[in-house]
Amino acid sequence: MSLSFNNFTQLENFGHSLRAPSYRFQPKCAQEIEEVFRLARKHELTVTARGAGRSYNDAALNGGGVMLDLSAMNHILEWDPTAGLVRCEPGVTLEQLWQCVEPAGWWPPVVSGTMRTTLGGCLAANIHGKNNFKMGTIGEHVVEFTALLPTGAEITCTPTKNADLFYSMISGLGMLGIFTSIRMQMKHIESGLLEVHAFPVHDLHEHLSFLLEYAPSYDYIVGWLDTTHGGKSLGRGQIHAANYLHGKEDPNPQQTMQLNNQILPPRIFGVFPKSILYLFMRPFVNNLGWWGVNTAKYLASLRRHTFRQSHAAFHFLLDYVPNWERSAGRGGLIQYQSFLPKETAEDAWREMLTLSLKRGLPSYLGVTKRHRPDQFLLSHTVDGLSLALDFKVTERNRTKLSSMLQEFDEIVLQAGGRFYFAKNSETSAEHARAFLGEETLSKFKKLKKRCDPDGVLESDLYRRLFR
């Protein structure tokens, strides 16, 4: 293994708004990871792990350093369909996982809005799903993991063995060590379908009240928020709330759990390849076009209705249009997600959404969820709600957008909120310190010294927030 221009490559974040040249290595086992650490040390370079590179920000970027691409460590090592226990290498994607477990009547307990993410990346960010209020984050379903530290030590962690590392490496953004295998408990399901209820909400107050009031009666809940309309309509949108089917509610569960009833079709109407659809979306990705799209979507969602949908279609809607993020054009896109206590969310988001409209920098997509707190060290969740906002970046708006998102940070902090390190790219070290608090930061720094005394593991995000 050696450093050469052959493995020097330009990497990007998911939204294509950031770029970082790095030496890319693709280990196939833990020993090869160790070799990469040795090589990096020899050349005084830092190392960052990368799963599928699906983070919206700089979490998996390392300008000028080494990129440890774990996508080739992608084997499902053990699968017990009786107990629903699975052990995987870190590069296994959620797509591989659900396709392995679903036909036997299981589903990953927590999934992201895309199935392309890897388990290593999901643990490092400690992802949440549309059921965060009920099932917590993915870390709560990890039974055991093994990890390699930059010191060369291999450790095994469970909620009771090396518990401090268990609760900090999960959520630790790959800054303490590299996951090499992950054992997780799956969730038993009795049908391949979910029953989904769709209902409109007419303003922000109704939107957030419905999420809070309805969540306890459902397994999943998620809201779409029309970010292009202000005034009395500010916060209007549509809620989707879904439940598992039980017993005889699905007359044919063996069939609905078959993969061919779950897999998203590659063509629209059986003809049009979805892989080029993003090119046709481009002309609409501007303030006027997206205003039109949001208006049409809202008008189409005014009727309450109930329907059945496969798990894959419900969870991975965004995967329906491959490369959709490229429709934002050359500047890419930024996602800003804030987590707010239920008591302060409405006022804070009213202020942020109004500000973005006033500045002529509307978000094009808004998604809301209901959350509960967790005990992982760099946790992003709260007893409250989150709002994720997608912004198109251009050469002209980049500086203005960045300063507006920093103003958003101030509003979130004043409202007692938190940020998510897999999404926001504009949060400063000062704002991160303010939301994490001194005690958490000093714990994290002590663990960092213990696991990585030479500071080998560093990403662009680490340098932005922690150094």
Residues that bind ligand FAD (CB under 6 A): 14, 48-55, 59-60, 70, 90, 112-114, 117-118, 120-122, 124-125, 127-129, 173-174, 178-179, 318, 422, 459
**Please, where are the H alpha helices in 363-437?**
398-414, 429-436
Residue nearest to ligand FAD (CB): 121
| Residue number with CB closer to ligand FAD (50 or 326) | 50
The Cα 94–Cα 165 span in angstroms is 24
Q: Which is nearer to ligand FAD, 205 or 449 (CB)?
A: 449
Rounded to an integer, what distance in angstroms lies between the CA atom of residue 328 and that of residue 53?
18
**Helices then strands (H, E): number in the chain?**
15, 21
Q: Measured from the CB of residue 303, what is the shortest distance to ligand FAD in angstroms?
A: 26
Contact residues for 178 (Cβ-Cβ < 8 A; gap 6+): 33, 49, 68, 70, 90, 120, 147, 148
**Which CB atom, from 208 or from 321, has the smaller least distance to ligand FAD?**
321
What phi and psi values does residue 224 have, to the nearest 5 degrees? Answer: -105, 130
Minimum separation from the CB atom of position 143 to ligand FAD (A): 17
CB of 119 to ligand FAD, least distance (A): 8
Q: Rank residues 40 and 357 by Cβ distance to ligand FAD and give the closer one.
A: 40
- Cβ contacts of 451 within 8 Å, gap of 6 or more: 149, 150, 151, 165, 176, 177
Cβ proximity to ligand FAD, 291 vs 324, nearer residue: 324
Contact partners, residue 255, CB within 8 Å, separation at least 6: 192, 261
Please enumerate in sequence order all residues whose Cβ is within 8 A of that of 260, keeping only pairs 6 or more positions apart, or say none: none
Nearest approach, Cβ of residue 298 and ligand FAD (Å): 22
Residue 356 or 381 having the CB closest to ligand FAD: 381
Shortest reach from residue 254's CB to ligand FAD, in Å: 29
User: Which residue, 25 or 105, has its beta carbon nearer to ligand FAD?
Assistant: 25
Cβ nearer to ligand FAD, comparing 128 with 370? 128
Report the 10 Å Cβ neighbour count for 68.
28
Which residues lie below 8 Å from residue 292, measured CB to CB, with a gap of 6+? 284
Full DSSP string of 335-369: EEEEEEETTTHHHHHHHHHHHHHHTT---SEEEEE
- State the nearest-atom distance from the C-beta of 108 to ligand FAD, in Å: 12
Closest approach of ligand FAD to the CB of residue 122, in Å: 5
CA distance 61 to 54: 11
Smallest gap from Cβ 289 to ligand FAD, in A, equals 21
3-state secondary structure of 267: strand
In whole angstroms, what separates CA 157 from the centre of its chain? 23
